[in-house]
Amino acid sequence: MHITLEDVAADYKLGPIRHADVLVHVQAVFRDKALTAVIGHTGSGKTSLLKVLTGLITPTQGRIRVGDIMVDAQDYSASHHKAIRKKMGLVFQYPETQLFAETVEKDIIFGPMNLGVPEQEAKEQARELAIKVGLDPKLLAASPFSLSNGQRRRVAIAGILAMKPDILMLDEPAAGLDPAGRKDILSLIMNWHREHQLTTILVTQDIDEAACYADEMIVMSEGTVVMQADTREVLSDPELLRAYNLESPRVRVLQEKIEYRAGIKLPRVCITIEELASALIEAGLV
Amino acid sequence: MAEPVLEVKGLSFRYIQHHDQQGDSEAISNVSLRILRGEWVALLGRNGSGKSTLAKLLAGILSPHGGEILLHGEPLDMDHSRRSDLPIGIITHHPDDHMIGTTVQDDIAFGLENRNIPYDEMKHRVEEVLERFKLSPYRHHDPSRLSSGLKQLAAIAGVLALKPSLIILDEALTMLDTRSKLEMIDTLRQLQVSEAITILSITHDMNEAAAADRLFIMESGTITASGTPDAIFKLYQELEPPLGESLRRCLLHKGRKVPSKYMTEEEVVDWLCTSPSKTLRQITS
């Protein structure tokens, strides 16, 4: 499902008069069926962007279009925003802290049952989802609080997927996990995205991660979108990234180092070590 | 080499969840290790392997249930948390845990004040760390309003101002972006040389771990291996090695002739840019 933001602004009320602008003149497009990463420094407005999309904060200016529904700040309709919201599944930062039911199964079926799915059907679905996200179905009867952090996070993600969103949004889904755990969670999201052709928005501070998984990137700085392009295009200009306080992915930094020392220019931006090795071989450096 | 700063013998610890609960497993069981003066060691392991628990035991935040800890050869009192002059500094990945002062400079001075450091000396040390970590522009800022990266720098500065003989970094660099992280690794390396400080870093970042002189691997509460980065990355093929070594292995995998030994990033770059094929290519082009 295609999402467009036109000149969107939003702020947090600090009191009756004062407010803090969190989003200003945001222009962005999230392409249908693409995985778009939103990157930016801490405090650049990444999370606020997700909040305004899902209606957790109201836009003060501009238009948001999701599929054929539109929310216009000038002529604000809460019911439109709600309609948009129903299409979205948002996995918050540290989602495992939001689990509350006595069992894993109850936690996963909570969302769908609120949407009117019959209990039996929701339970069957929960079982399938548990397997899909890499949880042993035996754990369905366990308390979510007896699980490890990585497992809890899978439960939280399963709970969102159970509501069958048209758009999946994830705010730092791998934060706080060890490298193996990070990889597991991200490949789980990647597989789901590919298999279901789901429009996915991944908010992350980790540019290495964004580089590996995203088709497109949106770069945010000081509350606005400063760049939006294909992943490799965004990464092709390290100077520009630096201007927004972002570092290039590590492999790209290594590539630059080699290019500088050897006085050559490799024909393309390398994101993985594999790509860098191939490019070096092609260039005749090894 | 130098004398050991810290020696741990048969350390064990278990978290007691409920007084009636059976079978609390040991979070730390029979851990022994030795860290020499001026050495940088890194502790690696999966989530839940006991790394942070070990750090807390060493820093005196938790008291062990068995074994002993010797600092400069002297056994530590199990109540050593009460000894305010304990020369072990710990920095965690939650910089907010460290923030007490209303300004950055007050925050750094807090620890010094509590140790009765004379005013002039205190002032000098605060200036020194502010300078070193490029925090001078923020000296009058409220630490709670700084970005996570700056908070983390301020927390590290506050601990280093105390001139501890051992600093423990418990994933303390995770909040920093790549560039600040590399700068911090450089600063720590300089301190290691100039002031002979001893560093124990707990990390998931293999590039950070590669900066250490020695690595310890922790699994289920025990130390299962220790050695140089070179040896450890060779032994544990499932650990994703630092970039330089990854590139070397990848080229090897693709059937290229590469040196058969472990290589750091600098070594790989040097090797690539001075290898004979490169020279040949330059001559022919």
Name residues of chain A where pLDDT drops below 70.
14
Two tokens, residue A276: 């860098």
- Answer with the residue of higher pLDDT: A236 or B24: A236
**By the CB < 8 Å criterion, does B254 face chain A?**
yes
Interface residues from chain A to B (CB-CB < 8 Å): 41-43, 148-150, 177-181, 205, 207, 245-247, 250-251, 253-254, 257-258, 261-262, 273-274, 276-278, 280-281, 284-286
pLDDT at B15 exceeding the cut of 50? yes
Are A276 and B148 a contacting pair at CB < 8 A?
Answer: no
* Percentages (nearest 5) of helix, strand, coil residues in chain B: 40, 20, 35
Token couple for A109: 């079926």
Helix (H) or strand (E) holding A8: strand A3-13
CA distance A271 to A75: 44
Does residue B265 sit at the A interface (CB-CB below 8 Å)?
yes
Q: Are strands A167-171 and A88-91 parallel, antiparallel or unpaired?
A: parallel
- Residue A42 has its nearest CB partner, among B148, B257, B277, at B148
Interchain CB distance below 8 Å, A273 and B177:
no
* Whether ipTM exceeds 0.85: no
Helix residue ranges per DSSP H, chain B: 51-59, 104-114, 119-132, 148-160, 178-194, 206-209, 229-235, 243-253, 265-274, 276-284
Starting at the edge strand that comes first in sequence, how are the strands of the sheet with B198-202 ordered? B88-91, B166-170, B198-202, B40-44, B214-219, B222-227
| Nearest C-alpha in B relative to A148 | B48
pLDDT of A145 reads 87
Q: Return the bridge partners of B91, or none.
A: B169
| pLDDT value at residue B183 | 80
Q: What is the pLDDT of residue B79?
A: 63
Contact A286 B256 (CB under 8 A): yes
Could you tell me how far CA B196 lies from the centroid of its own chain?
15
Q: Phi and psi (nearest 5°) for A119?
A: -55, -45
Report the C-alpha gap between A96 and A92 in whole angstroms.
9
Amino acid at A115: L
Residue B226's pLDDT is what? 94
Closest CA in chain B for residue A248: B178
Strands B214-219 and B222-227 come out as antiparallel
Q: What are phi and psi of A262, to 5 degrees?
A: -85, -10
pLDDT band of residue B285 (cuts 50, 70, 90) is: very low
What is residue A109's predicted lDDT score, i.e. its pLDDT? 95
What is the pLDDT confidence band of residue B84, given thresholds at 50, 70 and 90?
low
- Chain A nearest-CA distance from B160, in A, is 25
Residue-level pLDDT at B10: 94
Q: What percent of chain B has pLDDT over 70?
A: 89
Rounded average pLDDT over B243-248: 92
- Token pair of B41 as six digits: 């060691």
Q: Tell me which residue of A66, A71, A107 sits closest to A87, measured CA to CA.
A: A66
Residue from B170, B171, B204, B240 whose CB has the most chain A CBs within 10 Å, to mutate: B204
Predicted confidence band of residue B194 (pLDDT cuts 50, 70, 90): confident
Strand partners, B7: B34, B70
Q: What is the pLDDT of residue B23?
A: 52
Distance, in Å, from the CA atom of A256 to the CA atom of A272, rounded to the nearest integer, reads: 14
- Give yes or no for residue B18 having a pLDDT over 70: no
Residues in chain A with CB shorter than 8 Å from the CB of B254 are: 277-278, 281
Write the pLDDT tens digit of every residue in A214-258: 999 999 999 999 999 999 999 998 889 989 888 889 899 899 999
- Whether B283 shows a pLDDT value over 60: the answer reads no
For B171, the closest chain A residue by CA position comes to A176
Q: Which residues of A touch B240 (CB under 8 A)?
A: 179
Q: Among B207, B110, B88, which residue's Cα sits nearest to residue B154? A: B110
**pLDDT (tens digit, 9 = 90+) per residue, B31-73?**
999 999 999 999 998 878 889 899 989 988 888 889 999 988 8
